[in-house]
Structure 1
Amino acid sequence: MNASDRTPADLLRSVFAADPSRPLVTYYDDATGERVELSVATFANWVAKTSNLLQDGLAAEPGERVALLLPAHWQTAVWLLACSSVGVVADLNGDPAAADHVVAGPDRLDDGRACPGERLALSLAPLGRRFPTAPDGYDDYAVEVPTQGDVFRPWVPVDPDAPALAVAGTELTGAELVERARADAERLGLRAGSRLLSGLGYDTWEGVCAGLYAPLAAGASVVLCRNLDQLPAEALEKRIESERITDRVR
């Protein structure tokens, strides 16, 4: 990727410019059998719509904090890049009471109600389905995001030296995140075209880097597997073959 890239949003723009049609995130949930594959272009479109929702719908401003009460999931990856695009801090499993906004999955709705600001709920159901009825105190992301614009422009340029990500007690600026992602990509042996299978959660730097940032920094792609421990060994080997996996972390 470009040496001048200093934020995760910069990395996404670079991979889009290189080849928008290739796969970027392939997601499996081995508890439900769900599989979703997003090309760079499709992922970038979700990021643009979510960024517009964050900036215009939630009125989030650079420097504010968004608590992401979400598991390792393709929509979580979208939210991480949307936060970077707007310039807000993505606080993975952060304290909702200390956040300006909260985005919660179905099993964290009660926790998220401690947030005094805007709240969005994600059903995390296959195909991004909406809730039958929006949870009390929340807007439904799947209802709100489709009407958002496909092109995003931040109100002010994102500062690479401002805080961008908080995870497991570590807070990184955009520039620090990109630097660490590049180093981890090299450590993992990733290169352009690599296919990394990750069964790690998004509750540590190692997990979120392997499950998103390192492949993005290397021009590679990730096969993100939730509940991988429920997959029999023989089925895992078939997945490694069918998905053309070159590297894996578990």
Structure 2
Amino acid sequence: MNASDRTPADLLRSALAADPARPLVTFYDDATGERVELSVATFANWVAKTANLLQGDLAAEPGDRLALLLPAHWQSAVWLLACASVGVVADVQGDPAGADLVVTGPDTLDAARACRGERIALALRPLGGRFPQAPEGFADYAVEVPGQGDRFAPFAPVDPDALALTVGGAGFTGAELVARAREDGAALGLAEGARLLSGRTYDTWDGLSAGLYAPLATGGSVVLCRHLGELDADALAQRLESERVTLTL
């Protein structure tokens, strides 16, 4: 990765320039049997579409706070990088009542209704499927995002020294997030081409770092597993082998 990268969006651009075809996020939901593999290019395309939705249709601006009420999921990772691309603060599991807009999964719809701004709901169905019927008061992400542009340019440059992420009561600027992700990657022994399997949740920095930021910052990739406890030892061993995992958390 480039030493000059100072925001998560910079990290993604560098990864795209280096090797767009390599895997970046491989997602498993062991409660449903879902598996999704996203190359750097495919992930970046989802991020661009989501950032265009965020900046355009939702009129989000740098410094706006987005309450992100999503579990560890490939679409959560997309939203984190889309926020970073626009300059919106991703407030992970934050209070919707104090947010400018909210993005929620199906299990937190009631809590998300406290947001007075724009509300986006994700069904979190296999292959990014939509709700059978959009929840009242929410736009369905799977309906809104496909028509968005495949390339994204922010209306204003993202300030690396502005707040970018809050999680677990801690806040990080873009530059701090990138530095911390690199430090975590080095501490874990991640290097270019490493494959990290993470069963951690996305409601702590450690979970976000292992499940997205540290692999992205070090040229690696993540096998992100939701409901990993559903697997027995033999099935887990088979996954580690088939996914060529080099580190497990």
What's the TM-score, normalizing by structure 1?
A: 0.99
Give the Cα separation in 1 of the matches to 2:102 and 2:203.
Answer: 16
Q: Over residues 66-113 of structure 1, what are the superposed CA-to-partner deviations in whole Å (9 max), with x where a residue is unaligned?
A: 000000000000000000000010011000000000000000000000
Q: 2:76 corresponds to which residue?
A: 76
**Where in structure 2 are the equivalents of 1:94-173 lying within 5 Å?**
94-173=94-173
Q: Secondary structure at the match of 1:103?
A: strand
Give the Cα separation in 1 of the matches to 2:21 and 2:173.
Answer: 29
Q: Secondary structure at the match of 2:172?
A: strand
Q: Secondary structure at the match of 2:145?
A: helix
Aligned partner of 1:67: which letter? A
Aligned partner of 2:72: which letter? A
Q: 1:239 corresponds to which residue?
A: 239
Q: 1:49 corresponds to which residue?
A: 49
Runs of 4+ aligned structure 1 residues displaced above 6 Å come to none
Q: Secondary structure at the match of 1:127?
A: helix
Instruction: State the identity %.
Output: 73
Shift of 1:119: 0.3
Aligned partner of 2:136: which letter? D
Q: 1:93 corresponds to which residue?
A: 93
Structure 2's unaligned 5+ residue stretches are none
Q: 1:23 corresponds to which residue?
A: 23
State the number of aligned residues. 249
1:201 aligns with 2:201: yes
Structure 1's unaligned 5+ residue stretches are none
Shift of 1:150: 0.3
Give the Cα separation in 2 of the matches to 1:14 and 1:129.
Answer: 29
Give the Cα separation in 2 of the matches to 1:231 and 1:59.
Answer: 42
Give the Cα separation in 2 of the matches to 1:79 and 1:198.
Answer: 18
Q: Over residues 117-174 of structure 1, what are the superposed CA-to-partner deviations in whole Å (9 max), with x where a residue is unaligned?
A: 0000000000100001110110000000000000000000000000000001011000
Q: Over residues 5-59 of structure 1, what are the superposed CA-to-partner deviations in whole Å (9 max), with x where a residue is unaligned?
A: 0000000000000000000000000111000000000000000000000000100
Q: Over residues 215-249 of structure 1, what are the superposed CA-to-partner deviations in whole Å (9 max), with x where a residue is unaligned?
A: 00000000000000111110000000000000111
What's the TM-score, normalizing by structure 2?
A: 1.00
